[in-house]
Chains A and B, each alone.
Chain A
Amino acid sequence: MNTHHPIDDLPAYALGCLEEIELQAVERHLAVCVDCRNEVAMLRDAAAQMAFSTTQVEPPVWLKRGILARVEPVKTPVNSSSWWDWLKNIKPAWGVAAFAIIVLLIVSNLVLWNRVQTLSQNKPVSTFQVVSLAGTGPAETAHGVMIVTDSGRFGTLVVDGLPELVKEQQYQLWLIEDGQRTSGGVFSVDAWGYGAMVIKAPLPLDTYSDFGVTVEPAGGSPGPTGDKVLGGSF
């Protein structure tokens, strides 16, 4: 058994900067020496901390979806040749019926389009108020937006990038005025961190000056108890 411990080479090994011959010698020793393996593990942890010294840059939003798309099961694609076979085998009577349905759909679409055009020309101009919510604490990369009608009576909250919670927990929106916090409803997010809800408020939403989202037990709490993950102001 090799009793010489290559202590001097272990930091360079942990950093991955040994030459091939030295590397092989260290690896032969590590295969039989628990003490040196433990030492390397601790040196690697220290070296890995250097990654935190890098200026943190936000990756593009689509990257997460791209990763999940690569790992989630691929849906079976529609086989185009089977559609073509189906079309080729269709009986003439059914072909006429299908053609009639297509014509009917085109005509009804045109009628609907005309009606929409007419309505939009007569519609009064409406505006919305928008409040941006920024991630804080354990969810600093998250963000959200509240869209509130001009009258302040109705509002919708949309969030993205919040961590998905265990089923015993939900996010709760707080409406804040003069330090008083009123619940605006509870919601959950999906695996992509996306969630939305219609805000329920006893007063018009523009009555409130600030808004926050916290993690609470499922169903919500009378007052905030968990970590704040989003915040914003009118």
Chain B
Amino acid sequence: MFPSDEDLLHQIARSESKALATLYDRYGRLVFSLALRMVGNAASAEEITQDVFVQVWNNAASYQPELSKLTTWLTSITRYRSIDLLRRRNVRPDGHILEDPVEDLVISGGREELPEVQLEAKTADQQVRLALAELPEEQRAVLLMAYFQGLSQPEMAAALNEPLGTVKTRVRLGLQKLRRILESNEPPAW
């Protein structure tokens, strides 16, 4: 019934702006939310969201679905734009960058409640939060710092006051484990 992501990208590549409008309806909130979390400022997040969809418009023909999911492509563009903005400003946003996405799942009763919560998890965000919650806290922390703050491994080592080798191990094990958990779950319904 609704056109697939791939169909939309083909239409966008033919300069059909209606397809871009539909793509925005589908993913505009995801892009805006990610940008907002990374830069911590609504005006900048709006600017980044506009840039992301204009870049999709300009580069839809070069998108290769066999290489990455559309959400991976969209979120990658969003991250690069956000990190670029942060580096140009030479600032890191405070507050909500450090928020832990699994906090609201574990804060009330600890991780032992997770299997029950898992049964009820239906949405993509819940599934990802649950997957992150299964990681050891140290591994989750470096993944979030790298992904949302754009920190390099030496920067994380300095921020955490940990040896660089330790941070590298946490990054490697953390992402490999996250991948295994997500692959064992149902694909998010996006």
Question: Is B179 located at the chain interface by the 8 A CB criterion?
Answer: yes
**Interface check B26, CB cutoff 8 A:** yes
Interface of B is mostly: helix
- In the assembled complex, which residues on chain B have CB atoms less than 8 Å from the CB atom of A178? none
For residue A43, give the distance in angstroms from its CB to the closest CB of chain B. Answer: 6
Contact A60 B179 (CB under 8 A): no
Q: Is B94 an interface residue (CB 8 A)?
A: no
CB distance from B104 to the nearest CB of A (A): 9
Tell me how far the C-beta of A23 lies from the nearest C-beta in chain B, rounded to whole angstroms. Answer: 9
Determine whether A63 belongs to the interface, using a CB cutoff of 8 Å to chain B.
yes
- Give complex CA distance A55, B97 in Å: 11
A53 to B30, CA, bound (A): 10
Is the pair B22, A55 in contact by a Cβ cutoff of 8 Å?
Answer: no
Q: A51-B71, A138-B2 are in contact. Are A56 and B176 (CB under 8 A)?
A: no
B28 / chain A contacts, CB cutoff of 8 Å: 59, 63-64, 141
Instruction: Tell whether, in the assembled complex, residue A51 and residue B34 are in contact, meaning their CB atoms are under 8 Å apart.
Output: yes
Q: Which B residues lie within 8 Å of A70 (CB)?
A: 50, 54
A14 interfacial contact with B, CB 8 Å = yes
A-B pairs, top 7 by smallest CB distance, nearest first, are A53-B101, A46-B179, A191-B18, A59-B32, A11-B175, A48-B72, A17-B146
A-B contact pairs, 14 of them (CB 8 A): A11-B174, A16-B83, A45-B69, A47-B175, A53-B102, A53-B125, A53-B129, A58-B32, A59-B49, A70-B54, A71-B20, A71-B57, A163-B2, A193-B25
